[in-house]
Amino acid sequence: MVSDGGYIAIIVDVMVLPEYQGNGIGKTMMQKAMEFIKANLKEGQFVFVNLMAAKDREPFYAQFGFEARPNESVGAGMSQYVYYEPR
């Protein structure tokens, strides 16, 4: 997770090695991240948490309150690959 300490936090997927999946590691990581965000809010504050999930992993994040995009209130999540170009 990356945050500006104020308005924005970004979670770029949770990855657990296949041999350790199914043991609650990813769930614990997300719970701790969301607890950290909530614990550092002051009265009247909010944080916009952006999430870039791998394809078909949306149900995992839905249990933490995330909604698939696009929807009626927000547009699609977007990404871009930027490659090294020799100068």
Q: What global pTM score does this model have?
A: 0.82
d(CA 67, CA 59): 9
Residue 73 pLDDT: 86
| Run of H or E including 32 | helix 25-39
Residue 19 lies in a domain: yes
Residue 56 lies in a domain: yes
| Run of H or E including 53 | none
Residue 15 lies in a domain: yes
Low-confidence ranges of the chain (pLDDT < 50): none
Residue 76 lies in a domain: no
Q: Are 37 and 47 in contact (CB under 8 A)?
A: yes
The range of the structural domain enclosing residue 44 comes to 2-62
Residue 37 lies in a domain: yes
- Looking at the structure of the chain, the number of domains it has is 1
